[in-house]
Structure 1
Amino acid sequence: MKVTPDTVAAERQWVLDRTPVVVDVVNETRAHLGELFETEVDAITETQFRREVDVVFADGDVAVNVAGYVGLLRELDVARDYPGFVVDEVLGRELAATIAGGQPLALLAQATFHVADVRTHGDDDEAAGVDDLDAALAAGFQTRLPGWSWKEGRSPFSVGDGPTASSETDGSAPGRNR
Protein backbone atom coordinates (compact mmCIF):
# COMPACT_ATOMS: atom_id res chain seq x y z
CA MET A 1 0.00 0.00 0.00
CA LYS A 2 1.33 3.39 -0.96
CA VAL A 3 -0.21 6.38 0.83
CA THR A 4 0.00 9.77 -0.89
CA PRO A 5 -1.94 12.99 -0.36
CA ASP A 6 -4.32 11.77 -3.07
CA THR A 7 -4.79 8.50 -1.18
CA VAL A 8 -5.62 10.42 1.99
CA ALA A 9 -8.16 12.54 0.10
CA ALA A 10 -9.75 9.43 -1.42
CA GLU A 11 -10.01 7.66 1.94
CA ARG A 12 -11.52 10.80 3.50
CA GLN A 13 -14.15 10.80 0.76
CA TRP A 14 -14.83 7.08 1.34
CA VAL A 15 -15.41 7.80 5.05
CA LEU A 16 -17.71 10.72 4.19
CA ASP A 17 -19.63 8.51 1.73
CA ARG A 18 -20.08 5.98 4.57
CA THR A 19 -21.71 8.61 6.81
CA PRO A 20 -25.22 7.10 7.06
CA VAL A 21 -23.86 3.66 8.03
CA VAL A 22 -21.35 4.98 10.57
CA VAL A 23 -23.79 7.42 12.18
CA ASP A 24 -26.27 4.55 12.65
CA VAL A 25 -23.55 2.45 14.32
CA VAL A 26 -22.53 5.41 16.53
CA ASN A 27 -26.09 5.99 17.68
CA GLU A 28 -26.81 2.29 18.24
CA THR A 29 -23.58 1.98 20.22
CA ARG A 30 -24.32 5.06 22.29
CA ALA A 31 -27.83 3.79 23.06
CA HIS A 32 -26.43 0.40 24.10
CA LEU A 33 -23.72 1.95 26.28
CA GLY A 34 -26.26 4.36 27.78
CA GLU A 35 -28.37 1.39 28.87
CA LEU A 36 -25.35 -0.43 30.30
CA PHE A 37 -24.17 2.61 32.27
CA GLU A 38 -27.68 3.85 33.12
CA THR A 39 -27.15 7.25 31.54
CA GLU A 40 -28.52 9.22 28.65
CA VAL A 41 -26.16 9.79 25.75
CA ASP A 42 -26.98 12.22 22.98
CA ALA A 43 -27.30 10.81 19.48
CA ILE A 44 -25.15 12.41 16.80
CA THR A 45 -26.22 13.80 13.45
CA GLU A 46 -24.74 13.25 10.03
CA THR A 47 -23.69 16.91 10.03
CA GLN A 48 -21.75 16.49 13.28
CA PHE A 49 -20.06 13.40 11.92
CA ARG A 50 -19.07 15.04 8.63
CA ARG A 51 -17.70 18.08 10.46
CA GLU A 52 -15.61 15.86 12.73
CA VAL A 53 -14.29 13.86 9.76
CA ASP A 54 -13.08 17.18 8.37
CA VAL A 55 -11.35 17.99 11.68
CA VAL A 56 -9.59 14.61 11.78
CA PHE A 57 -8.43 14.81 8.17
CA ALA A 58 -7.30 18.44 8.56
CA ASP A 59 -4.48 17.22 10.83
CA GLY A 60 -2.10 15.73 8.25
CA ASP A 61 -0.19 13.58 10.75
CA VAL A 62 -3.42 12.00 11.95
CA ALA A 63 -4.98 11.91 8.47
CA VAL A 64 -2.21 9.81 6.91
CA ASN A 65 -2.54 7.20 9.65
CA VAL A 66 -6.34 7.16 9.54
CA ALA A 67 -6.21 6.81 5.76
CA GLY A 68 -3.77 3.90 6.04
CA TYR A 69 -5.97 2.04 8.53
CA VAL A 70 -9.12 2.74 6.49
CA GLY A 71 -7.49 1.50 3.28
CA LEU A 72 -6.19 -1.67 4.91
CA LEU A 73 -9.50 -2.53 6.54
CA ARG A 74 -11.50 -1.81 3.38
CA GLU A 75 -9.43 -4.34 1.48
CA LEU A 76 -8.78 -6.90 4.24
CA ASP A 77 -10.34 -10.25 3.54
CA VAL A 78 -9.21 -13.61 4.85
CA ALA A 79 -10.44 -16.96 3.58
CA ARG A 80 -13.05 -18.28 6.01
CA ASP A 81 -12.68 -14.97 7.97
CA TYR A 82 -11.79 -16.41 11.39
CA PRO A 83 -8.03 -16.80 10.77
CA GLY A 84 -7.95 -13.04 10.13
CA PHE A 85 -9.76 -12.22 13.37
CA VAL A 86 -6.68 -10.85 15.12
CA VAL A 87 -5.46 -8.56 12.35
CA ASP A 88 -8.82 -6.91 11.74
CA GLU A 89 -9.32 -6.46 15.49
CA VAL A 90 -5.87 -4.85 15.89
CA LEU A 91 -6.38 -2.54 12.92
CA GLY A 92 -9.88 -1.59 14.06
CA ARG A 93 -8.81 -0.91 17.61
CA GLU A 94 -5.89 1.25 16.48
CA LEU A 95 -8.02 3.17 14.00
CA ALA A 96 -10.57 3.96 16.72
CA ALA A 97 -7.79 5.15 19.06
CA THR A 98 -6.16 7.28 16.37
CA ILE A 99 -9.44 9.02 15.58
CA ALA A 100 -10.28 9.59 19.25
CA GLY A 101 -6.99 11.32 20.01
CA GLY A 102 -4.60 10.99 22.90
CA GLN A 103 -5.15 9.25 26.19
CA PRO A 104 -7.47 8.62 27.93
CA LEU A 105 -9.85 8.88 24.96
CA ALA A 106 -7.74 6.53 22.84
CA LEU A 107 -8.19 3.70 25.35
CA LEU A 108 -11.89 4.45 25.67
CA ALA A 109 -12.26 4.27 21.89
CA GLN A 110 -10.44 0.93 21.79
CA ALA A 111 -12.81 -0.51 24.39
CA THR A 112 -15.80 0.96 22.58
CA PHE A 113 -14.56 -0.59 19.33
CA HIS A 114 -15.14 -4.06 20.77
CA VAL A 115 -18.66 -3.13 21.90
CA ALA A 116 -19.51 -1.76 18.44
CA ASP A 117 -17.76 -4.61 16.63
CA VAL A 118 -19.80 -7.42 18.19
CA ARG A 119 -22.96 -5.58 17.16
CA THR A 120 -21.83 -4.72 13.58
CA HIS A 121 -22.03 -7.16 10.70
CA GLY A 122 -21.13 -6.44 7.10
CA ASP A 123 -22.77 -7.61 3.93
CA ASP A 124 -21.74 -10.96 2.45
CA ASP A 125 -20.28 -9.24 -0.61
CA GLU A 126 -18.00 -6.95 1.46
CA ALA A 127 -14.47 -7.72 2.58
CA ALA A 128 -14.28 -9.10 6.12
CA GLY A 129 -12.57 -5.95 7.39
CA VAL A 130 -15.40 -3.59 6.41
CA ASP A 131 -17.58 -4.32 9.43
CA ASP A 132 -14.53 -3.79 11.66
CA LEU A 133 -13.95 -0.54 9.79
CA ASP A 134 -17.51 0.62 10.47
CA ALA A 135 -17.13 -0.29 14.15
CA ALA A 136 -13.77 1.48 14.39
CA LEU A 137 -15.04 4.66 12.75
CA ALA A 138 -18.06 4.63 15.03
CA ALA A 139 -15.98 4.03 18.16
CA GLY A 140 -13.42 6.69 17.35
CA PHE A 141 -15.85 9.39 16.32
CA GLN A 142 -18.39 8.69 19.04
CA THR A 143 -15.58 9.12 21.56
CA ARG A 144 -14.53 12.50 20.10
CA LEU A 145 -17.99 13.94 19.78
CA PRO A 146 -19.94 15.54 22.63
CA GLY A 147 -22.98 13.89 24.14
CA TRP A 148 -21.62 12.23 27.27
CA SER A 149 -22.45 14.12 30.45
CA TRP A 150 -19.14 13.16 32.12
CA LYS A 151 -17.29 15.02 29.35
CA GLU A 152 -19.26 18.23 29.87
CA GLY A 153 -17.93 20.82 32.27
CA ARG A 154 -14.82 20.81 34.37
CA SER A 155 -13.39 17.53 35.66
CA PRO A 156 -13.38 17.20 39.45
CA PHE A 157 -9.70 16.30 39.06
CA SER A 158 -8.72 19.52 37.28
CA VAL A 159 -6.19 21.71 39.04
CA GLY A 160 -5.59 25.28 37.90
CA ASP A 161 -7.26 27.40 35.28
CA GLY A 162 -6.95 25.19 32.16
CA PRO A 163 -9.72 24.74 29.60
CA THR A 164 -12.88 22.89 30.55
CA ALA A 165 -14.11 19.89 28.62
CA SER A 166 -16.96 21.93 27.16
CA SER A 167 -14.61 24.65 25.89
CA GLU A 168 -12.49 21.95 24.26
CA THR A 169 -15.50 20.53 22.44
CA ASP A 170 -17.09 23.74 21.20
CA GLY A 171 -15.83 23.20 17.65
CA SER A 172 -13.53 26.19 17.70
CA ALA A 173 -10.23 24.42 17.10
CA PRO A 174 -8.88 21.24 15.52
CA GLY A 175 -7.56 18.66 17.95
CA ARG A 176 -10.28 19.19 20.53
CA ASN A 177 -11.04 16.44 23.04
CA ARG A 178 -7.39 15.68 23.62
Structure 2
Amino acid sequence: MHVTPAVVAQEYEWVRDRADVVVPLVNETRDHLGDTFGVDVAHIDGSAYRDTMAAVFADGDRAVNVAALIRLLRTLDVEGDYPGFVVDELLGRELAGMLAGDQPLRLLAEATFHVADVRTHGDESEAAGADDLDAALAAGVQTRLPGWPWQEGPSPFALEGE
Protein backbone atom coordinates (compact mmCIF):
# COMPACT_ATOMS: atom_id res chain seq x y z
CA MET A 1 0.00 0.00 0.00
CA HIS A 2 1.28 3.44 -0.92
CA VAL A 3 -0.29 6.22 1.18
CA THR A 4 -0.25 9.70 -0.33
CA PRO A 5 -2.16 12.88 0.50
CA ALA A 6 -4.62 11.84 -2.24
CA VAL A 7 -5.18 8.46 -0.54
CA VAL A 8 -5.79 10.21 2.79
CA ALA A 9 -8.35 12.48 1.09
CA GLN A 10 -10.06 9.46 -0.51
CA GLU A 11 -10.33 7.64 2.81
CA TYR A 12 -11.63 10.80 4.46
CA GLU A 13 -14.40 11.10 1.89
CA TRP A 14 -15.22 7.41 2.18
CA VAL A 15 -15.46 7.52 5.95
CA ARG A 16 -17.54 10.74 5.92
CA ASP A 17 -19.99 9.06 3.57
CA ARG A 18 -20.30 6.18 6.04
CA ALA A 19 -22.36 8.28 8.50
CA ASP A 20 -25.61 6.50 7.65
CA VAL A 21 -24.07 3.20 8.82
CA VAL A 22 -21.84 4.38 11.66
CA VAL A 23 -24.12 6.88 13.44
CA PRO A 24 -26.82 4.29 14.23
CA LEU A 25 -24.09 1.95 15.50
CA VAL A 26 -22.68 4.74 17.69
CA ASN A 27 -26.11 5.37 19.17
CA GLU A 28 -26.85 1.66 19.65
CA THR A 29 -23.50 1.25 21.38
CA ARG A 30 -24.16 4.27 23.61
CA ASP A 31 -27.59 2.88 24.50
CA HIS A 32 -26.12 -0.52 25.35
CA LEU A 33 -23.31 0.94 27.47
CA GLY A 34 -25.68 3.42 29.11
CA ASP A 35 -28.01 0.58 30.11
CA THR A 36 -25.05 -1.44 31.38
CA PHE A 37 -23.77 1.43 33.56
CA GLY A 38 -27.15 2.89 34.50
CA VAL A 39 -26.69 6.29 32.82
CA ASP A 40 -28.29 8.20 29.99
CA VAL A 41 -25.87 8.86 27.16
CA ALA A 42 -26.67 11.46 24.54
CA HIS A 43 -27.07 10.31 20.95
CA ILE A 44 -25.08 11.83 18.12
CA ASP A 45 -26.16 12.82 14.63
CA GLY A 46 -24.54 12.78 11.20
CA SER A 47 -23.23 16.30 11.62
CA ALA A 48 -21.38 15.43 14.84
CA TYR A 49 -19.93 12.35 13.15
CA ARG A 50 -18.72 14.29 10.11
CA ASP A 51 -17.29 17.06 12.33
CA THR A 52 -15.37 14.43 14.28
CA MET A 53 -13.94 12.96 11.12
CA ALA A 54 -12.96 16.46 9.95
CA ALA A 55 -11.11 17.05 13.24
CA VAL A 56 -9.33 13.69 13.03
CA PHE A 57 -8.24 14.23 9.43
CA ALA A 58 -7.18 17.84 10.11
CA ASP A 59 -4.31 16.42 12.18
CA GLY A 60 -2.05 15.25 9.34
CA ASP A 61 0.09 12.92 11.45
CA ARG A 62 -3.02 11.20 12.79
CA ALA A 63 -4.79 11.34 9.42
CA VAL A 64 -2.15 9.36 7.53
CA ASN A 65 -2.24 6.56 10.10
CA VAL A 66 -6.04 6.55 10.34
CA ALA A 67 -6.33 6.46 6.54
CA ALA A 68 -3.91 3.53 6.33
CA LEU A 69 -5.86 1.56 8.94
CA ILE A 70 -9.14 2.31 7.20
CA ARG A 71 -7.77 1.17 3.86
CA LEU A 72 -6.33 -1.99 5.41
CA LEU A 73 -9.62 -2.89 7.06
CA ARG A 74 -11.61 -2.09 3.92
CA THR A 75 -9.56 -4.56 1.92
CA LEU A 76 -8.55 -7.15 4.51
CA ASP A 77 -10.01 -10.53 3.74
CA VAL A 78 -8.96 -13.97 4.87
CA GLU A 79 -10.26 -17.14 3.32
CA GLY A 80 -12.74 -18.60 5.78
CA ASP A 81 -12.53 -15.38 7.86
CA TYR A 82 -11.72 -17.03 11.20
CA PRO A 83 -7.96 -17.42 10.66
CA GLY A 84 -7.79 -13.64 10.17
CA PHE A 85 -9.78 -12.91 13.31
CA VAL A 86 -6.79 -11.66 15.29
CA VAL A 87 -5.47 -9.22 12.71
CA ASP A 88 -8.81 -7.52 12.00
CA GLU A 89 -9.44 -7.23 15.75
CA LEU A 90 -5.99 -5.73 16.25
CA LEU A 91 -6.41 -3.21 13.44
CA GLY A 92 -9.95 -2.31 14.54
CA ARG A 93 -8.94 -1.76 18.14
CA GLU A 94 -6.00 0.42 17.07
CA LEU A 95 -8.20 2.49 14.77
CA ALA A 96 -10.79 3.05 17.51
CA GLY A 97 -8.04 4.27 19.84
CA MET A 98 -6.55 6.61 17.25
CA LEU A 99 -9.94 8.14 16.54
CA ALA A 100 -10.69 8.71 20.23
CA GLY A 101 -7.45 10.58 20.94
CA ASP A 102 -5.18 10.49 23.94
CA GLN A 103 -5.49 8.52 27.16
CA PRO A 104 -7.80 7.72 28.87
CA LEU A 105 -10.15 8.07 25.88
CA ARG A 106 -7.88 5.90 23.77
CA LEU A 107 -8.16 2.95 26.16
CA LEU A 108 -11.91 3.43 26.53
CA ALA A 109 -12.31 3.35 22.74
CA GLU A 110 -10.23 0.19 22.46
CA ALA A 111 -12.46 -1.52 25.02
CA THR A 112 -15.60 -0.14 23.40
CA PHE A 113 -14.45 -1.51 20.06
CA HIS A 114 -15.11 -5.03 21.32
CA VAL A 115 -18.60 -4.05 22.51
CA ALA A 116 -19.44 -2.56 19.11
CA ASP A 117 -17.76 -5.39 17.22
CA VAL A 118 -19.91 -8.15 18.72
CA ARG A 119 -22.96 -6.12 17.69
CA THR A 120 -21.78 -5.60 14.09
CA HIS A 121 -21.87 -8.21 11.37
CA GLY A 122 -20.98 -7.79 7.73
CA ASP A 123 -22.41 -9.91 5.01
CA GLU A 124 -20.64 -12.66 3.08
CA SER A 125 -19.87 -10.35 0.15
CA GLU A 126 -17.82 -7.94 2.29
CA ALA A 127 -14.19 -8.22 3.26
CA ALA A 128 -13.58 -9.77 6.69
CA GLY A 129 -12.34 -6.42 8.04
CA ALA A 130 -15.44 -4.45 6.98
CA ASP A 131 -17.49 -5.06 10.12
CA ASP A 132 -14.43 -4.39 12.28
CA LEU A 133 -14.00 -1.10 10.45
CA ASP A 134 -17.56 -0.03 11.23
CA ALA A 135 -17.15 -1.11 14.86
CA ALA A 136 -13.87 0.85 15.12
CA LEU A 137 -15.40 3.99 13.65
CA ALA A 138 -18.35 3.74 16.04
CA ALA A 139 -16.19 3.05 19.10
CA GLY A 140 -13.70 5.80 18.38
CA VAL A 141 -16.32 8.43 17.57
CA GLN A 142 -18.63 7.58 20.46
CA THR A 143 -15.72 7.79 22.89
CA ARG A 144 -14.34 11.04 21.49
CA LEU A 145 -17.66 12.89 21.54
CA PRO A 146 -19.27 14.26 24.70
CA GLY A 147 -22.55 12.88 25.96
CA TRP A 148 -21.42 10.85 28.95
CA PRO A 149 -22.31 12.28 32.38
CA TRP A 150 -18.72 11.96 33.60
CA GLN A 151 -17.58 14.26 30.77
CA GLU A 152 -19.98 17.10 31.68
CA GLY A 153 -17.87 18.86 34.28
CA PRO A 154 -14.29 19.22 35.42
CA SER A 155 -12.63 16.16 36.83
CA PRO A 156 -12.69 15.98 40.63
CA PHE A 157 -9.09 14.79 40.38
CA ALA A 158 -7.71 17.90 38.69
CA LEU A 159 -5.35 19.87 40.92
CA GLU A 160 -5.24 23.64 40.85
CA GLY A 161 -1.89 25.06 39.71
CA GLU A 162 -0.08 27.72 41.68
**What is the TM-score normalised by the length of structure 1?**
0.89
Alignment of 1:15-164 (within 5 A): 15-160=15-160
The alignment's C-alpha RMSD in Å is: 0.7
Work out the percentage of aligned pairs sharing the same amino acid: 66
**What is the TM-score normalised by the length of structure 2?**
0.98
| Cα separation, 2, equivalents of 1:126 and 1:140 | 22
| Cα separation, 2, equivalents of 1:136 and 1:160 | 35
1:51-81 Cα shifts (integer Å, max 9, x gaps)? 1110000000000010000000000000000
| Cα separation, 2, equivalents of 1:129 and 1:143 | 21
For 1:111, give the aligned amino acid. A
How many residue pairs get aligned? The number is 161
| Cα separation, 2, equivalents of 1:135 and 1:44 | 16
| Cα separation, 2, equivalents of 1:52 and 1:101 | 11
| Cα separation, 2, equivalents of 1:160 and 1:130 | 45
For 1:85, give the aligned amino acid. F
Q: Which segments of structure 1 move beyond 3 Å, counting only runs of 4 or more? A: none
| Cα separation, 2, equivalents of 1:141 and 1:65 | 16
1:1-29 Cα shifts (integer Å, max 9, x gaps)? 11000000000011011111000110000
